[in-house]
Structure 1
Amino acid sequence: MSNLNISGLKKSFNGAAVLHGIDLTVKSGTLLALLGPSGSGKTTLLRVLCGFEEADAGTVEIDGRRVVGPGVHMPSEQRRIGYVPQEGALFPHLSVADNIVFGLPRTLRRARHRVAELLELVGLPASYAERAPQQLSGGQQQRVALARALAPSPTLVMLDEPFSSLDAALRIETRQAVADALAAAGATAVLVTHDQSEALSLGHEVAVLWRGKLIQTATPEALYRRPVSRELASFVGEAVLLPGVATRDAVDCQLGTLKLAAPANAGPVDVMVRPEQIRILPAGAAAATQANGVASLHAATVREVAFFGQDASIGLMLDAAPGIAIRARVPGYLSPQVGDKVSVAVDGEVTAYPRA
């Protein structure tokens, strides 16, 4: 597969800018998750890369071959890009095998070139080749759509929110099967999604598009632990934001003196803590835990419990600061009850943002 290099890419519709000078590099064999809220420009970027829309400015190179640039707009069919749409878009009057080979030259279509191999690659039995698409589940149809995209041995694979129409259990199973198939094929791929958990679990790297601008590209762990802005912190998972004062490597706030993941300029900041970093302990355990020097503990009262089975989201009010509410996430079996008096402490490093 190939490298993808995007430089200064711009696109407007009716005078309204949608993409503001996008710069992005995707290395060969990488699955990049392109994450952003609705209206951020994700689909427009994908359509420009596929050749469905013409860029206003900037360049796109695939494995060193320029497909977008000043005076250059290579037609979609010449870019060798595999495309997997949201709904799979299989042809209902064709068998699974005929769907897979649809984009191949006539001689290869007649020979049903690589059908059994591609079905195995996406985790489906070879016997499914003769089935009609409507005889498959939604997840199986998406796997066939991926097999069709991989059949011509494309330079890149583009996936446009391919799991959004599937129910929760099927979504998890299907996206893992698709990720495994892309890895087995050594594919370079761009997955467009607005689902944070999907981006973090599947992407080797995650690029966040926000109001038409690429604001951060990082590994999933770095993006989640050190988002570049408080708005992004709240978009990528849940975030507890508290006022504090930074002293380079640490910050003082209502949850004590916390270590910073990255040095900050001294002065007023907003502190970002992830809910799962907040430990909840019985109120009576405070003295013993403090004596062991494990953490700085603070008395709190449970105000709300949202139980999800495997875990629970706990709304807390700090007793020493009644106006400050925080939210913790704990394993479901450790969920306290509304009204419980507890102690809370913070595990790990936190991130701080200068206060405007």
Structure 2
Amino acid sequence: MSAFQITGLHKSFDGHAVLEDIDLAVKAGTLLALLGPSGSGKTTLLRVLCGFERADAGTIEIGGRLVAGDGLHLPPERRRIGYVPQEGALFPHLSVADNIVFGLPRARRHARHRVAELLELVGLPASYAERAPQQLSGGQQQRVALARALAPEPGVVMLDEPFSSLDAALRADTRQAVTGALAASGATAILVTHDQEEALSLGDEVAVLWQGRLLQTAAPQSLYRRPATRELASFVGDAMLLPGTMAGNHVRCALGSLPLVGSSASSGEPTGDVDVMVRPEQIRILPRGENRLAAPDDAIEARVRRVTFLGRDAAVTLQLAGFPETLIRARVSGLEMPSEGASVAIAVAGPVCVYPAE
């Protein structure tokens, strides 16, 4: 069953279309990561779903109940949606406990209904209930904001880039605590983010919004390994597009004959001339030297032109022998990076996907 069902959704401001023909279903109990660059319409979509903005066309159903469409527009308080904004937006004059119960009926507020349970759920000790929000770290404040969103037992929780203001170490811990709490509560969640790593690591599914349109909705691995368009391939991760020619279940390009990901010759792949998408981490560098293992028969000769050390890994630019104009990008372990100017052999690990040649 879908917790959320969106059909044909449109929204414009001053005659400019911000959302166009959005169709999206979110399964109950899952976390959908809504990914897109700045200005793609992510926050507008979230505001329309919450009821903060009225849709121009289309329908929205939550738990099988129509909340928008056909002349209907239920206000936010009647949609049973929990909302976690970017900065947490806790009330500084209220204690943590009073922030958590703020949206509950009066009797439950006075009883501080489920405060200890919700604090434990988001990974905070019950003793934090009497603290002021300004006594908490940014990550702890976001956890309290989630506890407040979960207090009314909503059907869906919306998270609007809740980790964007946190530093890297705190972001990782807070992500884990928040997603763990959502899973434990059984809540359905939509996470809005422009952070690709965040979307791919947290989402059960990822939906990519691009210039007001949904380009693709898929499981993270499927989205990354087989993006629907060349624009999406370049947006989600790093991608190289090389000219190639189809040959049955393989494609030939400057990197040799490569198998196609999850496809067969009859599955609707482009034919003839195509563009081949290869990820830098697919490039395996085999250093030359007397003690190295023999390179596979399909290895390609190359020379290292540039190496950039990035800590745990390194970015390497390679020039292919016989293709002086073709530069290949590779990502390797920071412990195994080659020297600039070195002669190496390279091979491609795993299958690739293709797009019609432009």
TM-score > 0.5 by shorter chain: yes
* Separation in 2, partners of 1:286, 1:274: 28
Equivalent AA in structure 1 for residue 198 of structure 2: E
The residue aligned with 1:17 is: 17
Question: How far off is 1:295 after superposition?
Answer: 5.6
Residue 332 of structure 1, aligned match among 292, 317, 334: 334
C-alpha distance after superposition, 1:50-101 (max 9, x if no partner): 0000000000000110001021000100001000000000111111111111
Q: Is the 8 A contact 2:2 2:25 kept in 1?
A: no
* Separation in 2, partners of 1:305, 1:199: 29
Is 1:206 matched with 2:203? no
Q: Secondary structure at the match of 1:91?
A: coil
Q: Go from structure 1 to structure 2 and tell me whether the alpha carbon gap of 1:18 and 1:302 turns closer, same or farther (over 3 Å shift).
A: same
The residue aligned with 1:282 is: 287
C-alpha distance after superposition, 1:250-274 (max 9, x if no partner): 1000000000112423211110011
TM-score by length of 1: 0.96
Mapping for residues 1-356 of structure 1, pairs under 5 Å: 3-261=3-261, 262-263=263-264, 264-284=269-289, 289-290=294-295, 294=296, 296-356=298-358
Question: How far off is 1:298 after superposition?
Answer: 1.1
Q: Secondary structure at the match of 1:245?
A: strand
* Separation in 2, partners of 1:244, 1:285: 34
C-alpha distance after superposition, 1:183-232 (max 9, x if no partner): 00001000000110000000000001111111100000000000011110
* Separation in 2, partners of 1:208, 1:54: 22
* Separation in 1, partners of 2:53, 2:174: 29
Q: Is the 8 A contact 2:270 2:354 kept in 1?
A: no
C-alpha distance after superposition, 1:274-301 (max 9, x if no partner): 11110011124799634xxx46111112
For these two proteins, the number of residue pairs brought into alignment is 353
**Structure 1 unaligned runs (5+)?**
none
Q: Is the 8 A contact 1:2 1:188 kept in 2?
A: no
Q: Secondary structure at the match of 1:349?
A: coil
TM-score by length of 2: 0.96
* Separation in 2, partners of 1:236, 1:46: 21
Q: Secondary structure at the match of 2:315?
A: strand
Q: Secondary structure at the match of 2:246?
A: strand
Q: Is the 8 A contact 2:35 2:195 kept in 1?
A: yes
Q: Is the 8 A contact 1:2 1:155 kept in 2?
A: no
Equivalent AA in structure 1 for residue 63 of structure 2: D
* Separation in 1, partners of 2:176, 2:304: 37
Bigger shift: residues 110-119 or 302-311? 302-311
Q: Is the 8 A contact 1:283 1:299 kept in 2?
A: no
Question: How far off is 1:8 after superposition?
Answer: 0.2
* Separation in 2, partners of 1:259, 1:283: 26
